[in-house]
Amino acid sequence: MRIRVSGFPTILHKYKLKRIFSELGTVTDIQKERGKSIAYLTMPYDYQARKAMYSLDGSKILGRTIKVEECL
């Protein structure tokens, strides 16, 4: 499943973002838009991706509230 993450600080490196999401499941790919606070993560197991969405949506990273949602 592919999920979209937005709202995090632009200085956040994609590997830090991957580490945060990897605590809730397997992350096979991550693409972060340069200079923007938008990233797309691929998690091969839907149940892990949904767990990450429910657990991390609305949480804070470096003081900024993030939005986590499924890419359609």
pLDDT at 20: 95
Task: Indicate whether 33 pLDDT > 90.
Answer: no
Backbone φ and ψ of 14, nearest 5°: -60, -25
pLDDT of residue 7: 96
14-29 residue pLDDT tens: 999 999 999 999 999 9
**Structural domains of the chain, with CATH:** 2-70 (3.30.70.330)
pTM for the whole structure:
0.91
Question: Helix or strand or coil: residue 22?
Answer: helix
Which pLDDT belongs to residue 47? Answer: 96
The position carrying tokens 């949480």 is 59
**Coil vs helix vs strand at 27:** coil
Average pLDDT, the chain: 94
